[in-house]
Chain A
Amino acid sequence: MTETSSTAPGDPSTPLAVRLRGIGKRFPGVIANDDVNIDVRRGTIHAVVGENGAGKSTLMKILYGVQPPDSGTIEIGGSQVKLSSPADAIKAGVGMVFQHFMLADNLTVLENVVLGAEKQHGIGRKARAEVRRISDAYGLGVDPDALVEDLGVGARQRVEILKVLFRGARTIILDEPTAVLVPQEVDELFGNLRELKKEGLAVLFISHKLDEVLSVADEITVIRRGTTVRTVVPADVTSRQLAELMVGSELPSPGISEKATSTRVQLAVTGLTLHDAAGRALLDDVTFEIRRGEILGIAGVEGNGQAELVEAVMGMRPGATGSIVLTDQDLAPMSTLRRREAGIGYIPEDRHRHGLLLDSPLWENRVLGHQSRPPSASGRLIKRGAARADTQRIIDAYDVRTPGTDVPARALSGGNQQKLIVGREMSGDPILLIAAHPTRGVDVGAQAAIWNHIREARADGLSVLLISADLDELIGLSDRIEVVLRGRLVGEFDPSDVTPEQLGSAMTGAGSAA
């Protein structure tokens, strides 16, 4: 996977693609960026790492013209620019792929790419040819006529990259591009990025997965509490040293808690089946059990039924057949609310769509999903004081970086939003936690902390249905792993003797299941 890059990254003679000097940005109660200095050279991949809330996304949004900086200068290709909108940034040759994809599902790839950039190459034959040309030149393998809704996550991401290239970007920003990908897709993405760099483009990307960063980046800039601490080359650091640079102190070593799996079955799913409107099976006779104090990991390439499984168990998918029993209670007739009251915690896959009220204060987000239970409610009334106090408890316990409980959820960085959701769903002593990518977007330190919280709760009898694209997380946390492929459970693995490679091939259906 390692590859010696052709350009010498430290070589000062390589022309600069982007030069940021003294960038500062403040939000109410928060200094997001303060004296940030970064040089990105042409033909390099430049990674930006830092804790949750360090100011990485803010910095990238500034470079993409989404937000104006309060201070500092931006130079692109050697000349100073003022970016007051993404259109300015695109004109200057900077493009950005957000973590939340912005594609219209019911349009084709070509239509999506051309949308809003009709002036560049028209919308007809020329545009199609251009899409083909870019796709071939960088090995993106994108079919202009495919419908976006039929594409997997990795392919959608490549469409986003193509969109940016189509608009003539020479510097590409990717905010946590690998968070949603499984390892094979990550490798493909990195292959694409290396192609881009070979053509002299500059790539800026944010990631919390330090091993990935070390394998693909030419230079790594560490941001801590809004300031650039250091820029290093991968050869000079280990991932542990990187993490310590991010935090500014030594990392605590992860605690170990013993397993306490009992023989009592907490969740029994039998013959769960779900069809889509066209009659295609989304879930096909899914049967499994989770015992008290057990973590069952579900491995699979995104879009193979994980989301449907979770939503069926939560009661958000009408039409699912089969039985779901939670400690002797049949869940079938229960609403989502009743299921939550019965002791199910739910960390949704898409925190913006399903997990948060972005414009509501944090304490109201604490109430969400717990409207009917103490401490946030009593009877038909919401207890504001108690909800605020309990939000503060979560903020302290999960290290959510925020100026207070009254700021809107939107003002939190992605990772801190995630920490708040995890803290909320672990509240009220759930007996079953449905965790879809519980540490997506959180930094290494916070990831270890969340794992510890989950392990501690497991020792007290919590059962967990864990879905994750992060195989290390699956292997490290699960007591048992089931692989899901096209809506079916196709094999069971013991995490203590399975490698990510074995899991990976089972997920794509390449290997034979154990």
Chain B
Amino acid sequence: MKDFRYIDGAAILKLDRESCTGCGMCVTVCPHRIFALQDKKAEIRDPDGCMECGACAKNCPVQAIYVNPDDGCGCAALIIGRWLSRITGKTPTGCSC
């Protein structure tokens, strides 16, 4: 997203160009236009713009993409819940969104 940039170098997004078949699904689904096709292979154009939504990985037919698998909306309340649950060993209670 051009008008909104978040913390650089934080998002976890990996692409295995070897196994990529160039189908273009990741290019289509990414809401931040992170991918582009180059020589019939996907390429990460803007790694810092990734919001880790996981749409690309979900739709890649050959599992060539790895995104931080923690899901959830990423509000502070949810993350605190998760940190607490790691300490107490209870299952985290979700946020209400």
* Chains A and B belong together in one complex: no
